[in-house]
Amino acid sequence: MMDWSDRHCRYFHRLLSRHALLYTEMVTTGALIHGDVERHLRFNAEEHPVALQLGGSEPADLAHCARLGEQRGYVEINLNCGCPSERVQRGSFGACLMAEPGLVADCVKAMVDVVSVPVTVKHRIGIDKDESYEFVRDFVGTVSEAGCHTFVVHARNAWLKGLSPKENREVPPLRYELVHRLKRDFPQLTICVNGGIVTGEQVAGQLRELDGVMIGREAYHNPWWLASWDEAFFGTRPRDLTRESVERQMVDYMAREATAHGTPWSSIARHMLGLRHGLPGARRWRQVWSDHKLKAAHPRDVMLLAHGDAQKTA
């Protein structure tokens, strides 16, 4: 979710679900140690609960960055051991770390020693074409001994060579049964699943076997789905929520961000382009909110134009 689940996206998603745990995009230790800490770690109080996902492989660096995350109020520190991109591999982190469970355990232990919030790991079920269950079982066993009690498992292998990141989300087959088997073998651990889940029925089915479900791109492209989650999965009463009320709240947020940080509305609006997914006039609505010729307009005026044009094409 690099460049997707930034703080503006998370603010939007929090309007839709009060209880889902939100994750940052992966932030590398190098970016925090050598870059602008405030820019990388800033989030809105309304986003809570929110977890910080880190990318790195040096235990001391990860410990330093985990401490920074806890100090700024993140409720969880998550280590990414699942990203297969070649750029990430060149930094010796992401999915290639699964080949070094001892190093991952050292990284987890270093973070656990300096923070009081949970340290979790997101990973794949394997790397390259090794499809043995024993590989992921031993990885989870080794890392859990270092103090990680929650594993978010993308139920595909990561092919480190020959596939793009997009292909790595589609070509290696989904094998949910391996994630279910992890839960049976490690009943004391929190095991969550990720990958290929796009309906409430699928989520409910996975929750009968596992402790949690992580949704990525489907939540981004079809965000209105999130509006049903609190009632369906957290047992809360339904809210009087509409797409229009969410859009108005986002317009208010855009105006505040422009005043406080000089943030152009377009960098926020891009995250809500799926809000009217499947509705008549949605295509024209998206086109207006994507029109950079309107960048000088107030977002409230853009909203009015978007709805006027959408109604004409509906």
CA angle 109, 112, 115 (to 5 degrees): 150
- ω into 165 cis (within 30 of 0): no
> Which DSSP string do the residues of 258-290 spell out, in sequence order?
HHHH---HHHHHGGGTTTTTTSTTHHHHHHHHT
AA letter at 84: P
**Quick check: is 192 catalytic?**
no
Alpha carbon distance, N-terminus to C-terminus of the chain: 32
Under a CB-based contact definition with an 8 Å cutoff, are residues 7 and 43 in contact? Answer: yes
Q: What is the C-alpha radius of gyration for the chain, rounded to an integer number of angstroms?
A: 20
DSSP string, 187-212: TTSEEEEESS--SHHHHHHHHTTSSE
Choose, from 9, 65, 81, 83, the residue flagged as catalytic. 83
Catalytic residues: 83
